Chains A and B, each alone.
Chain A
Amino acid sequence: MANMALEHIYKRYGKTTAVTDFNLNVEDGEFIVFVGPSGCGKSTTLRMIAGLEEISDGVLRIGDRVMNDVPPKDRDIAMVFQNYALYPHMNVYENMAFGLRLRKVPKDQIDQRVRGGAKILQIEHLLERKPKELSGGQRQRVALGRAIVREPKVFLMDEPLSNLDAKLRVEMRSQISKLHQNLKATTIYVTHDQIEAMTMGTRIVVMKDGFIQQVDTPLNLYDFPKNKFVAGFIGSPSMNFLTATCNNKTVSGNGFSVEAQGKLADSLSAYNGKQVWYGIRPEHLGLEGSTTIAGGANRLTGVIEVVEPLGAETDLMVNIGGQTVVAKVDGHAQVKVGDTVTLFCDQSRMHAFDMEKELAIGR
């Protein structure tokens, strides 16, 4: 177990820069998730921590030791790969014991650790099998097992669930979370799936084009996104963005008008008369007549284009004066395509972003 620090880390391939000025302090026992669209540099950063990629610039510390030039085997890390990377010619036991054997751990201790790890992951009955005889979920467990028996300072996981089907992914997600609660090991977890990030991370690093966009706890990312990218990336369905004109505290456009309150209202005064992005999450919109949101004067009016009933709720796509917004409304709302409806906006949950820089306007 150890804390870890990444200081001004860069990764350059020839003239292209894959990761730019990456700074992060990881506390002992934290579960950090790197999330972002593909090509954002999250896997590259993980591989630099692992020692599989050279660090072009900057300093990586694990514990108090600078690790830049330390080979992977001496960094005291364990990694779980996306496609599991189990050794095909070894059975499950050998796969888990391989790293310990190379480290010359005494035989009885290896046996104890492998069987202990297998017990935690409920793969004791699979120890004699070869990887090809296992299902995807079982392989995933073995890959995790291979990492935990090493008892490393840091766990690195590179999209470990993306090869599993949806149901298994949810199951393994909670398993890994439980495992982390038990082992309290520092973990870096890479994913492109914001739901995995939100549900598992103690802190999340949102990345795009090699730059860190924001580092924060899941709820803070949700409530206080620093820019339009983070706001759109976190949450499902994504936040709605409408171009609006700011008039004192009010942001309005064709078919909608919403009044900001609190700190956001103060911040917006600097944008008087200018265009801004008005952001609102689908779950913070409600259908007039079937919502508890007290909209008051904060309304969006438009024509329903698509109705997607999901049971517990229904997603409506509504054309508001030429801009489409998604609203999560009551599952039994009596609406159909073509209806003209009014949506109430929860003004305490609204966001606004600078038109050019796309940075959040303080709230």
Chain B
Amino acid sequence: MVQPSSSQPRQSTSNPTTLAGLIAALVVTLFVYFQVFLFLREGTANPWIIFIVSLLWGIGGIWLLFTLVTSIVDLLPSKYRQGIMPWVFAAPAILLVFYYLLIPTFRTFWLSLLDAKSDKFVGLDNYIFAFTSPAMLESFKNNLIWIIFGGGLSVALGLLIAALSDRTRPSFEVSVKTLVFLPMAISMVGAAVIWKLVYQYSPAGASQIGLLNSIGTTLGASPIPFMITRSINTYLLVIILIWMQTGFALVVFAAAIKGLPSELLEAARIDGATELQSFFKITIPYIQVTIISVSTTIVISTLKVFDIVFGMTGGNYGTQVIANEQYTQMFRSFDYGRGAAVAMVLLIAVLPVVYFNVRDFGKEAKGF
């Protein structure tokens, strides 16, 4: 038999008895493994025993399984061995992804074809709802605002601050970056609480605890009920996201700009480029891949935006977004069919962006 040139010329020791023995051992191991799983799930024994058993079960069991499976694969003829071996190592991860991601996705899709109580098959009815109901149409419009203003301004501001702070003293640059990055450390709901106090409205005459209205009334303006003013409330919510995401964009862009060799900018200066020209013709193309990665990452978070809207307005007053509508359908109206359909719509909207994001991360790894 011809051995593949890359592999070690191991002799194929196809011994049917050994193979059968190993397979039997594997079956027994899997059986014991499952029994231990049931035992651990009961969880009635002494906690120390459970701790020790789960340690042995987790580490020893995995080791035993790997040893058995690789031994079996080793017994196969070498032309199969090379093809199968990678799968042995990848299989646990693939199974986990399958179990936690793919099955729920397919299940959601199935639910989206059933009625509110998941009893009756209703075909595409839920999707017709998802594309025609006023709440969803409003959500589409609002999510578009989130993407364009939230994504666009976060990226633009991040890039601007990164480029400017790169020119300053290192100590100053660090403080600027820290300040701008700080909001990233706050949870979305935490941010919503903070900004609630910024946008808070009390009727004229009452004392204003909202920051903006407090300043406004001090200057003589009448208080504005920001969150229920339909023309601006979504934009005001988007500002919260910009406040949080600019830091992320800034830090990534700053690192990318640091990677730009100074000779390139010097060469451009000598070639006759002004500061602006070298920024747009050298710096931006150089970090283009990073810009795409950051943009797509932020666009994904604007598409999925939920916490800010949920925390600030609950999706009322014309601020509804897709993710919050999904929550409303599923956990307020208990209409699993519609909730699942909205979830599917969101998934399909995110997929192309994810594709771009992943594809360009790969490009970045290869470098110029």
The answer, yes or no, to whether A79 is at the interface (CB within 8 Å) is: yes
**Closest residue of A by beta carbon distance from B271:** A99
Are B368 and A88 interface neighbours, CB within 8 A? yes
Q: A51-B269, A131-B368 are in contact. List 18 more A-B contacts (CB 8 A).
A: A50-B266, A52-B270, A73-B269, A73-B270, A73-B272, A81-B267, A83-B261, A85-B261, A87-B268, A88-B264, A88-B286, A88-B368, A89-B368, A98-B271, A99-B271, A102-B272, A102-B277, A132-B367
User: A161 CB to closest chain B CB, in angstroms?
Assistant: 16
- Are A89 and B264 also in contact (CB < 8 A) when A77-B270, A103-B272 are? no
Q: Please state if B271 and A102 are interface contacts (CB–CB under 8 Å).
A: yes
Establish whether residues A85 and B266, one from each chain, have CB atoms under 8 Å apart when the complex forms: yes
Which residue of B264, B273, B367 is within 8 Å of A102 (Cβ)? B273
Known: A85-B263, A87-B264. A72 touches B285 (CB 8 A): no
CA distance A130 to B286 in the complex (A): 13
Instruction: Answer whether residue A150 sits at the interface, using C-beta atoms and an 8 A cutoff.
Output: yes
Give, as a whole number of angstroms, the nearest-CB distance from B182 to chain A: 33
Q: Which residues on A sit within 8 Å (CB–CB) of B353?
A: none
Query: Residue A79 contacts which of B267, B288, B367 (CB distance < 8 angstroms)?
Result: B267
CA distance A88 to B260 in the complex (A): 10
Residues of A contacting B263 in the complex (Cβ-Cβ under 8 angstroms)? 81-83, 85
Q: Which residues of A contact B288 (CB under 8 A)?
A: 89
Task: Report the separation of the CA atoms of residues A85 and B274 in the bound assembly, to the nearest whole angstrom.
Answer: 17
Find residues 334-368 in chain B having any chain A CB closer than 8 Å to their own CB: 367-368
Q: Which B residues lie at the A interface, using CB under 8 A?
A: 261, 263-264, 266-274, 277, 281-282, 285-286, 288, 367-368
Note all chain A residues with C-beta closer than 8 A to B272.
73, 99, 102-103
> Is A71 an interface residue, CB under 8 A from the partner?
yes
A78 within 8 A of partner (CB): yes
CA distance A71 to B275 in the complex (A): 11
Query: Once the chains bind, are A52 and B368 in contact (CB under 8 Å)?
Result: no
Chain A 87-108 interface mask (CB, 8 Å, partner B; 1/0): 1111000000011001100000
Task: State in angstroms the CA–CA spacing of A85 and B278 once bound together.
Answer: 14
Closest Cβ of chain B: how far from A311's Cβ, in Å?
A: 40
CA distance in complex: A130, B261 (Å): 17
Contact check: which of B268, B273, B368 meets A132 at CB < 8 Å?
B368
Residue of chain A at shortest CB distance from B278: A102
Which residues, 47 to 85 on A, are CB-close (under 8 Å) to B?
50-52, 71-73, 77-79, 81-83, 85
User: Which residues of the partner chain B approach A77 to less than 8 Å between Cβ atoms?
Assistant: 270
Q: Could you tell me if A52 and B271 are in contact, using CB atoms closer than 8 angstroms?
A: no
Chain A positions within 8 Å of B271 at CB level? 73, 98-99, 102, 146, 150
Contact with B along A139-154 (1 / 0, CB 8 A): 0000000100010000
- Whether A78 contacts B273 by the Cβ 8 Å rule is no
The residues of B that contact A146 with a CB separation of less than 8 Å are 267, 271
Select which of B261, B267, B277, B285 is within 8 A of A89 by beta carbon. B285
Q: Are B267 and A85 touching (Cβ within 8 A)?
A: yes
Which of A51, A78, A85 touches B264 (beta carbons < 8 Å)?
A85
- Rounded to whole Å, the gap between the CB of B287 and the closest CB of chain A is 10
- 27 pairs, A vs B, C-beta closer than 8 Å: A50-B266, A51-B269, A51-B270, A52-B269, A72-B269, A73-B270, A73-B272, A77-B270, A78-B270, A79-B270, A81-B263, A81-B266, A85-B261, A85-B263, A87-B264, A87-B268, A87-B285, A88-B264, A88-B286, A89-B288, A98-B271, A102-B271, A102-B273, A102-B277, A130-B368, A132-B367, A150-B271
Instruction: Report the Cα distance A50→B266, complex, angstroms.
Output: 10
From B264, B270, B277, B368, give the contact of A50 (CB < 8 A).
Answer: B270
CB-based nearest B residue for A50? B270
- Given A72, A130, A131, which contacts B270 in the complex, CB threshold below 8 Å? A72
A 115-143 binary contact with B (CB < 8 Å = 1; else 0): 00000000000000011100000000000
Residues on B with C-beta less than 8 A from A102 are 271-273, 277
Q: Which residues on A sit within 8 Å (CB–CB) of B281?
A: 98
State in angstroms the CA–CA spacing of A52 and B267 once bound together.
10
Asked whether B273 lies within 8 Å of A52 as measured between CB atoms, the reply is no
Please, which residue of chain A has its CB at the minimum distance from the CB of B367? A132
